[in-house]
Structure 1
Amino acid sequence: MPTPTDHANPAAGPSPLAPDWLEYPRDPNALVPKLWAAGVSRDDDGEIAVQGIPVSRLAAEFGTPLLVLDEEDFRARARAFRDAFDAAFAELCGGVDVYYAGKSFLCTAAARWVAEEGLRLDTASGGELAIALRAGVDPAHIGLHGNNKSDAELRRALDAGVGRIVVDSLDELDRLAALAAEAGVRAPVMLRLTPGVHAHTHEFIATAHEDQKFGLSMSAPDAGQGSGTAGSPAAAAVAQALAAESIDLLGLHCHIGSQIFEAEGFGVAAEKLLGFLAEIRDTHGVELAELDLGGGHGIAYTAADDPRTPEDIATTLASAVRAATERLGLACPRISIEPGRAISGPSTFTLYEAGVRKTVSVDAPDAAGGAGGRTHPRRYVSVDGGMSDNARPVLYDSDYSVALASRTSTEPAVLSRVVGKHCESGDIVVRDAYLPDDVARGDLLAVPATGAYCHSLSSNYNQLTRPAIVAVRDGQARVIIRRETEEDLFARETGL
C-alpha cells in the first residue's frame, strides 16, 4: 500500500507513473487551444478568463463547482456542422438536416440556441422531449429516440406532432402502430438498425455491434457472413411498417457509437444502409426518402486527442455516400446527422476549488515489468466536486485535462491526480496530469471539455448539490441552471 507523505515534493520532470500519451509540458501555464472554447484564454494577470471574465470573479459570484459555458462557442460549433454538411451534400440531396443530440447537454436555453442556429433537436426520453417543447422548438423539427419508450412517451410524441419517432424494436413498432391508429394519425417513423460496425471506443458507448440493446439487427438469426438482410429483424420491420396504415415509414437510422475519431466506420455504415435501401426498393418498390447516419464524433479531452473538423467529416462522408448511391443506382436520400458532444463538449469547462493536497509513494514496475521497480511519488489534489458532477471517468475510464486557473506559477510541473470529495476510491476527476508543484488549497482549477454528459449524468451522491451552469455571451455571464440547495434535497421527501 502507498504510504501518505503529505509534505513530500514529487520530483520535477516526467514521471515513470505517467501514461505514455501524457507529455511533460514545456510550460504548465499554457492552454492547449483544442481543449477549450474559443473565448477562453489567460488574461494579463495570468487568470483563465472567458470572454474577458476572470474565473475568480465567476467563482466569487456563482460559487464552485461551476460549469462555465461559452455560448458563442456552442453556437459557432452548431453552425459549423450545419454549414459544412449542407455544403458537402448540396449536390447529392440538397443539404443535410442536423439534429443536435440533446442527451449530451440539454436545458431550455440550449434547445433554443440550436433552433436559432438552424438545427433540429433529437431527444432520447419523455423528459428531454418535455424540455424541447417547453423551449418552443418546432415539434416538426424534434425526433424521439429510446430503446424502451413507454406508451405515454409515444402518445406524447404523437400528440405533439414530432417530426420523427426512431423505432428501436418490432415490439415498439406494433405498439406505435396501434397508438397512432387509436389517435387517428400516421406516425412518422425512422427504423434504427444495427449495421454491425464496431467503433473504436469504449464497449458501453459502441452502439452498432450486435451484442447490445439498441436497434434492429440487419442479420438474419443464425445466418452466415454475407447472407444479406433477408429474414432479419430489420427486413421484418420494413415490411411491417410499410403494411401498417398508421405508420409513415420515412427512412432508416443508425448510430455506431460515441467519441469516434476514425472516418472509416461511418462510411462503412452508410454503405451498408444504402445497400439495404436498394434492397427495399427492389423488394417493395419503394425508395425511402431519409437516411440518418447518427453522430458520435470525437472531441479533444487531452492533448493526445486529434478530433476531425466538421468539414473533414462532411466531405469524407459525402464521398462515401456518393460512391455507394452511384454503384447502387439509387437516388440519394435526404441525409441527417446527430452531433451532440462535438457541439456541447468543448464549449464548457468545470471550475473547482482545490482543497486537501497529499503525496503518496507508488511502486512502479521495473523495466521487465516485474515488482522490483523504484518507488515514485504521486500528488493528489482534492476538489470540491467529483463524480457527482462528472461521472464519465468512473463509468468509462475517461481521461480529462486540468489547468491551474486562478493564477500562473513558476514552479515545475509534477504528476498529479485530481480527485473529488466522495466516499469512493474511484472518485477521480483527472487521472493523470502535470500541475505546478505549488498548487494548494484555495486555488481554482479548470477542467476543460465538460459540456457533454457531465450535467446530463450528474447526481446527488453523498447528498452533494449539483452545480450551477453559467453561460457567457458578449462578455456577460448569466445563470441558465441554478445551483441546487440543501432545500432541494428535501423537496421530494414526504415525512418532513
Structure 2
Amino acid sequence: MYLHGTSRINKLGHLEIGGCDTVDLAQKYGTPLYVMDETLIRDRMRQFVCAFQNTGLRFRVAYASKAFSTMAMCRIVDEEGLMLDVVSQGEIFTALSAGFPAERIYFHGNNKTPQEIEFALDAEIYLFVVDNFDELMLLQAIAKEKQKRARVILRITPGVEAHTHQYIQTGKEDSKFGFGLESGQALKGVELALTCSQLDFMGFHCHIGSQIFETNAFSATIVKMSQLIKTSYERWGVLTQIFNTGGGFGIRYIDEDTPKSPQDYVQVIASTVRTYLSDLPLIPEIWVEPGRYIVGEAGTTLYTIGTVKEVPGIRKYIAVDGGMSDNLRPALYQAKYEALIANRATEPATEMVTIAGKACEEGDILIWDIPLPGVQSGDIMAVNCTGAYNYSMASNYNRVQKPAVVFVKEGTAEIVVKRETLQDIISHDHIPERLIPKKEKVTI
C-alpha cells in the first residue's frame, strides 16, 4: 500500500499516521475508525494557495465541504483562510456552529429549498451558485420579501465530458446540474439575472466531474467558458468578477492512478485564463474548489478482521467489522482501494484475498483480489484514501453505529466525531401510543 502524508511503518512493524500507532488507535477508539492526517490536510490547502500566488492572478481557494464536513474540519479551513463551499443547510449550520465566518461561505446545489435559501440569506453568506432558472426566480422572490440582496454566480454546464466514472461526470450537456452552454440557456440565465432587482450578478461557475487526472479537460472547459464571459461583456457590458473553475482534481487510490500536483492543475488553469481573457478590461478572480484532493489521501479507515471464508478453488473472503455502511464508494462507483495489515505491515503478501464487509448485501465488497500476508482473525486492516466521501456517505444500514473520527498530528490523536452508541441509533424513533405493549395484569 502506498503511504501518503505522514504515514510510515514504525519499528514495531505497525502502520503509523501522524506519529500515532494505528494499532494503539484501534485499541483505544475501536473499529471501524476513520483516521485523518491533519498535517497532510493543511499541506494540501497550502499547496493550492502557493500555486496560485505564483501566477499573479487574483484568486480564492475553497474547500468543497461535501467531501468531509465536521465542525473540526471547518475550523481547519478557517485557520487556513480558505472559502467554504456548502451544498445544504446542514453544512451551513455545521460551519456557523464551528465559528466559520459567513462571509467566506457560498452555497451550491441543484434544488435549494425555500427554507435553505431563507436560512442562507439570514446568515448573510457570501454568495449563491445558482443552478437553474427556477432557483434564480425563487432566490429573487425570497430576497425581495426579506429586503435583502444576494450575490450570485451561475453554474454552467459547458458540454465537456471528462474521462471519469459516468456518475461523477457533471460537465456534460445531459446533466442535472447547471445552465447548458450549448443550448443557449447560459446566456438566457445571464440576461434574466441582470433583470433581478435583488441579485448582484458576479460571474460563473463550472464543474466537469471528479477524480480527473488529465489537465486538457480543464483547459478545454476554460476555452468554452471564456467565450461566454466575453459574450456577456460584449452584449451587456458585464465584467465577470468571479470565474469559479470548480474542482474534481484526481488523487491516488491505487497504483494505476496518476494524479498531478496542485501546481500542475493551477498552472494550466492560469495559463489558459491569461491566453483567452487577457484582452478584457478585467481578468476575473479565479476560484477553485478542491474537496477530495484536500482530504481524500489524508484519510485511513481501520477495521478489525473477523471471519474468514474460503470457497475452494474460487476465492478466499476476509470479513471486516465495517463495509458499505462506512464506505459506500465501491458499491456505488466500483471504486478501488489498497490496504495493508496494520499490525503486521512489514510481512510479505502470501495469498490473494477479497475483503468483504459485514452488511447483509452480496455487493458489500470493499476490495476484490488483494495480495496480503496470511490474515488472522483479530488483525487490524488499514484501507487508505478514505478521507473523502466515506464519512460523508456513512449510514446506519443494518442499524450499525457510525464510526468515530480522529485527527492525528505530531503524535497526538483527538476525537472530532464520537462513535455512535446504540442509544443514538434509536434516539429519533417513536412508538405510537397504540403500539406500546400493555402491561399484563398480575393475578395473585
User: TM-score scaled by structure 1?
Assistant: 0.85
User: Can you give the 5+ residue segments of structure 1 that lack an aligned partner in the other structure?
Assistant: 1-30, 221-231, 362-375
Matches within 5 A, 1:333-352: 333-352=284-303
Which residue number in structure 2 is paired with residue 469 of structure 1? 405
Aligned to 2:396: 460
Tell me the distance in 2 between the aligned counterparts of 1:338 and 1:72.
19
- From 4, 10, 23, give the equivalent of 1:56: 23
**Where does residue 441 of structure 2 map in the other structure?**
none
- Residue 309 of structure 2 is aligned to residue 358 of structure 1: yes
Separation in 2 of the partners of 1:159 and 1:280? Answer: 30
1:278 touches 1:330 (CA, 8 Å); kept in 2? no
What displacement does 1:51 show? 2.8
CA-to-aligned-CA distance 1:278-324 (integer Å, 9 cap, x gap)? 00011101212110000000111112111110011111111111111
SS of 2:405 mapped into structure 1: strand
Contact 2:19–2:408 at 8 Å: present in 1 too? Answer: no
User: Would you say how many aligned residue pairs link Structure 1 and Structure 2?
Assistant: 432
2:378 corresponds in structure 1 to 442
Q: 1:206 aligns with which of 157, 169, 175?
A: 169
Equivalent residue in structure 2 for 1:248, among 184, 188, 200 = 200
- 254, 271, 285: which is aligned to 1:302? 254
Aligned-partner residue type, residue 340 of structure 1: G
Specify the alignment match of 1:120 in structure 2.
Answer: 83
Distance 2:355 2:413 in 1: 27
Report the counterpart of residue 151 of structure 1 in structure 2.
114
Shift of 1:360: 2.3
- Check the 8 A contact 2:406/2:414 in 1, yes or no: yes
1:46 maps to 2:13: yes
SS at match of 1:103: helix
Matched to 1:334, the amino acid is: E
In the TM superposition, residue 52 of structure 1 has moved relative to its aligned partner by 2.8
Give the direction of change, closer, same or farther, for the CA distance of 1:412–1:119 in structure 2 (3 Å limit).
Answer: closer
The amino acid of 2:303's aligned partner reads Y
CA–CA distance in 2 between the matches of 1:132 and 1:417? 39
- What residue is the counterpart of 2:271 in the other structure? 319
Q: Which residue of 2 aligns with 1:138?
A: 101
Q: Provide the rounded CA distance (Å) in 2 between the counterparts of 1:360 and 1:321.
A: 56
Gaps of 5+ in 2: 437-444
* 1:82-481 superposed matches below 5 A: 82-88=49-55, 90=56, 93-94=57-58, 96-220=59-183, 232-326=184-278, 329=280, 331-361=282-312, 377-408=314-345, 410=347, 412-436=349-373, 438-481=374-417
CA drift of 1:359 comes to: 2.4
Whether the aligned pair in 2 keeps the contact of 1:400 and 1:431 (CA below 8 Å) is no
Q: Quickly say closer, same or farther: Cα 1:408–1:168, change in 2 above 3 A.
A: closer
Q: Deviations over 1:363-412 (max 9, x none)?
A: xxxxxxxxxxxxx5432111000000000000000001111111246454
The structural deviation recorded for 1:431 is: 2.1
- 1:6-45 aligned at under 5 Å gives the runs 31-33=1-3, 36=4, 38-45=5-12
C-alpha distance in structure 1 between counterparts of 2:80 and 2:291, whole Å: 14
Alignment partners' CA distance in 2, 1:259 and 1:196: 18
Whichever residue aligns with residue 453 of structure 1, its letter is Y
For residues 49 and 100 of structure 1, the distance between their equivalents in structure 2, rounded to whole angstroms, comes to 27
- One-letter code aligned to 1:349: T
Q: How far off its partner does 1:41 sit?
A: 0.7
Question: What is the root-mean-square deviation of aligned Cα atoms in Å?
Answer: 1.3
Q: Which residue of 1 aligns with 2:41?
A: 74
Tell me how far 1:329 sits from its aligned partner. 4.3
The alpha-carbon distance between structure 1 residues 184 and 411, as it changes in their structure 2 partners (threshold 3 A), is closer
C-alpha distance in structure 1 between counterparts of 2:375 and 2:365, whole Å: 17
CA contact 1:82–1:118 (8 Å) conserved in 2: no
SS in 1 for 2:214: coil
Q: Determine the C-alpha separation between the residues in 2 that align with 1:358 and 1:445.
A: 17
- Cross-structure match for 2:440: none
Residues 54-80 of structure 1 show CA distances to partners (whole Å, capped at 9, x for unaligned) of 112111110000001111111111111
Q: Distance in 2 between matches of 1:424 and 1:330?
A: 58
- Check whether the contact 2:35–2:301 (CA below 8 A) recurs between aligned residues: yes
Percent identical pairs in the alignment equals 41
* TM-score when normalising by structure 2: 0.95
